[in-house]
Chain A
Amino acid sequence: MTTLTEATGEAAARETPARRRRRRVDHLPYLLLLPCLAIIAVLLLWPLGQVVWMSFHKLDSVRQLRGDREWPWIGLANYAQILGDPFFRTVLRNTVLFAVANVALTMVLGTLVGLLLNRLGKKMATFVASCVMLAWATPALTGTIVWKWIFDDTSGLVTWLFNKLPDGLSTALFGRSDWTGYGWFNDPLLFFAILTLVVVWHSFPFIAVSVLAGLKSVPTELQEAARVDGAGPWKVFWKVTFPILRPVFGILVVLSTIWDFKVFTQQFVLAGGTQDRSTFMLSIYSYAEAFSPPPKYGLGSAIAVILTVILLVVTALYVRMVLRQEDE
Chain B
Amino acid sequence: MMKKIALNGAGLLVALFAAFPVYWMVATSLKPNREIFSSTPRPVPAEPTLEHYREILTGNLIPGVTFTDFFLNSVLVAGATVLLSGLVALLAATAVARFRFKLRTTFLIMLLVVQMIPLEALVIPLFLMIQRLGLYNTLPSLILTYLGFSLPFAVWMLRGFVAAVPKELEEAAAIDGASRAQTFRKVLFPLVAPGLVATSIFSFITAWNELIFALTFINDQQKYTLPVAMTFFFGRDDTAWGSVMAASTLFTLPVIVFFLLVQRRMVSGLVAGAVKG
Contacts and interface: CB of A to CB of B under 8 A. Distances in A.
Interface of A: 1, 4, 7-8, 11, 16, 18, 26, 28-30, 32-33, 35-37, 39-40, 42-48, 50-51, 54, 62, 65-67, 113, 116-117, 119-121, 124-125, 127-128, 131-143, 145-147, 149-150, 152, 154-155, 157, 160, 201, 205, 258, 261-262, 264-265, 268-269, 272-273, 283, 286-287, 290-291, 297, 300-301, 304-305, 307-308, 311-312, 315, 318-319, 322-323
Given A32-B94, A131-B18, A152-B238, A39 B88 contact: yes
Interface residues of B, number: 94
Interface stretch (B21-29, B46-54, B56-64, B266-274): B21-29
A315 B118 CA distance: 10
A213 B36 CA distance: 40
B189 to A, nearest CB: 14
Contact of A155 (B37, B89, B92, B121): B37
B40 A160 contact: yes
B99 A26 contact: yes
B124 A133 contact: no
Contact of A54 (B25, B128, B227): B128
Contact of B92 (A33, A119, A269): A33
A51 B152 contact: no
A146 to B, nearest CB: 4
Contacts of B78: none
Nearest to A310: B118
SS class, residues of chain B in contact with chain A: helix
B125 A48 contact: yes
Contacts of A311: 116, 118
Given A116-B11, A139-B255, A290-B124, A319 B88 contact: no
Contacts of B116: 258, 311-312, 315, 318-319
Contacts of B123: 286-287, 290-291, 304
Contacts of A1: 277
Nearest to A157: B41
B211 interface: yes
B132 A65 contact: yes
Nearest to B119: A262
Interface in B139-190: 144-145, 147-149, 151-152, 155, 168, 171-172, 174-176, 180
B244 interface: yes
A51 B124 contact: yes
B10 to A, nearest CB: 6
B220 interface: no
Contacts of A33: 91-92, 95-96, 107
